[in-house]
Amino acid sequence: MELFNNLILGFSVALSVQNLWFCFIGVLLGTLIGVLPGIGPLATIAMLLPITFNVPPVSALIMLAGIYYGAQYGGSTTAILVNLPGETSAVVTCMDGYQMARQGRAGPALGIAAIGSFVAGTICTFFIALFGPPLAEMALSFGAPEYFSLMLMGLVTAAVLAHGDMVKALAMVVVGLLLGIVGTDVNSGMSRFAFSFSELTDGIGFVVLAVGVFAVSEIVANLGSTEKRQVFTSKVRNLWPTRDDLTRCLGPILRGTGLGAFFGVLPGTGPAIASFSSYMMEKKLARDPSRFGRGAIEGVAGPESANNADAQCKFIPTLTLGIPASAVMALMLGALTIQGIAPGPQVMTEKPDLFWGLIASMWIGNLMLVILNLPLIGLWVSLLKVPYRMLFPAIMAFSCIGIYSVNNSSFDVYLAAVFGLAGFLWLKLECSPAPMLLGFVLGPMMEENLRRALLISRGDPTVFISRPISLSFLIATVIVLLVMAAPAMRSRRAAITG
């Protein structure tokens, strides 16, 4: 019964006129940037973060979350119509979605992507409502050693499952941890790595780092590439899949949702992994696997459900443990912090309206996506024809204003320019910056918990393995490392993430 009371509370919050409006703006903006290749949810949310100052916390989170899952949705539109992933998670959708479009079945492909996402979203809303509270309750008993081990596990999985070489990704995590240290040390009051810049005593701003590394360096990279886009010009008719399509897709949608939820709860994994696993699974289970890659509708339904489920379930560890499960989730927590709310398991009990309102809004947002986007396909298609040379100056302008407005500080803009250069260098050296950002966010928390754990144990480092929960996190970390470093997994991993 408590579950229903909670959901009713959530819907009463999410259905207020103001929150509906923010949800609408969020999903619309999310779809927009999802459709457009070259700008992702990470950069967009980072740019908008300062603007959420003036908005109540619930509304701010509802909007930012809408951008996130809206982008997953918009990414599939581009994948199907242009054979170009609007978002990284949509890479898989290109394979069969574009083939369907070439066969004149773009409509059903778009339709099933929307339906699959909606079903996944609905199931995950209940999933979060069911498993969120017990997890938060468990987390309340966590002490410093548990938190340290959990964060270590999150950082290692993030690095291990990131794009490219594993050791480089781990090294990027360490770079992030070091960047997180910049500023005044809470315990001693000593200023570290601030050199003589007084602006650095409060640490490096999250928005500065995220926009610099992700937005600016992306533009530089995009301007360097010569890839041309070609919009699939045939008219999109009849979005509704046939009855045969729907019965075919029921299994893939449900299995995709399950996989997505599983990967979603794991910290550190991205939606691309969930959708790829779903695609492989459907191909294995299919009676005639050769249809895949030639316009099999199951190859669109499964992965699209999986990436939406993943996106939503990422909120479980983020909101219940206060540990961001991905770089985008780190931004969500950043939004909370800006509002003066300390992320952690206490959020659910102290701010039930925030937690349940956000959960309910995700279901409403998914419904909006289905209702709004199918008629708006034409608009998205025409947007794809806007040339990049008109787009990127606008992105630059909003980025700069966004960075400046956090502290009204020019120094932050200069610093972001430096990170833009660093981000490009990392892109060039194929050192993925997403794990770095996670390390940056977790750095101060990790150091704090490490110190506290060792203080409680009187300097005895076995505290991390003598407490059962902490030990199990550490064992899981070691297993992930060993499995991924094994030669057989190495090649499979290369196939998934590469």
Q: Which two tokens stand for residue 446?
A: 């990790």
CB closer to other proteins out of 258 and 433: 433
Q: For the CB of residue 52, give the shortest distance to other proteins in the complex, in Å.
A: 10
Q: For the CB of residue 192, give the shortest distance to other proteins in the complex, in Å.
A: 6
CB closer to other proteins out of 8 and 223: 223
Q: For the CB of residue 383, give the shortest distance to other proteins in the complex, in Å.
A: 16
- Give the 3-state secondary structure of 3-47: HHHHHHHHHHHHCCHHHHHHHHHHHHHHHHHHHCCCCCHHHHHHH
- Of 28, 114, 129, the residue nearest 305 (C-alpha): 114
CB closer to other proteins out of 32 and 175: 175
Phi, psi of 183 (to 5 degrees): 120, -165
CB closer to other proteins out of 136 and 445: 445
How far is 253 from 248, CA to CA, in rounded Å? 9
CB closer to other proteins out of 174 and 231: 174
Q: For the CB of residue 49, give the shortest distance to other proteins in the complex, in Å.
A: 13
Q: How far is CA 344 from CA 14, 21, 214, 434, in A?
A: 22, 27, 26, 22
CB closer to other proteins out of 15 and 55: 55
Q: For the CB of residue 466, give the shortest distance to other proteins in the complex, in Å.
A: 16
Q: Which amino acid is at 444?
A: P
Direct distance between the N- and C-terminal alpha carbons of the chain, in angstroms, rounded to an integer: 46
Cβ contact 296:96 at 8 Å: yes
Cβ contact 206:471 at 8 Å: no
How far is 279 from 7, CA to CA, in rounded Å? 32
- Of 113, 119, 31, 108, the residue nearest 75 (C-alpha): 31
Q: For the CB of residue 426, give the shortest distance to other proteins in the complex, in Å.
A: 9
Q: For the CB of residue 225, give the shortest distance to other proteins in the complex, in Å.
A: 6
Residue ranges that bind other proteins, judged by CB under 8 A = 51, 54, 165, 167-168, 170-171, 174-175, 177-178, 181, 185, 187-188, 190, 192-193, 216, 219-221, 223-226, 388-390, 392-394, 396-398, 400-401, 404-405, 408, 410-414, 416-418, 420-421, 424-425, 427-431, 447, 450-451, 454-455, 458-459, 461
CB closer to other proteins out of 128 and 213: 213
Q: For the CB of residue 159, give the shortest distance to other proteins in the complex, in Å.
A: 11
- Of 475, 481, 473, 440, the residue nearest 145 (C-alpha): 473
Helix, strand, coil abundance in the chain, percent, nearest 5 = 80, 0, 20
CB closer to other proteins out of 102 and 452: 452
Total number of residues shown for the chain: 498
Half-sphere exposure of 298 (CA within 13 A, CB side): 24
Q: For the CB of residue 134, give the shortest distance to other proteins in the complex, in Å.
A: 33
CB closer to other proteins out of 302 and 439: 439
Query: Which residues have CB under 8 Å from 488's CB, separation 6+?
Result: none
Q: For the CB of residue 213, give the shortest distance to other proteins in the complex, in Å.
A: 12
Q: For the CB of residue 464, give the shortest distance to other proteins in the complex, in Å.
A: 12
Q: Which two tokens stand for residue 458?
A: 């009187």
Q: For the CB of residue 110, give the shortest distance to other proteins in the complex, in Å.
A: 30
Cβ contact 354:98 at 8 Å: no
Give the number of other CB atoms < 10 A from CB of residue 429. Answer: 9
Q: Residue 208 in 3-state DSSP?
A: helix
Given its phi and psi angles, is residue 38 left (phi above 0), alpha (psi -120 to 50 degrees) or beta?
Answer: left
Q: For the CB of residue 187, give the shortest distance to other proteins in the complex, in Å.
A: 7
Q: Residue 65 in 3-state DSSP?
A: helix
Cβ contact 402:48 at 8 Å: yes
Q: β-pairing, 183-184 with 191-192?
A: antiparallel
CB closer to other proteins out of 261 and 403: 403
Paired strand residues for 191? 184
CB closer to other proteins out of 300 and 415: 415
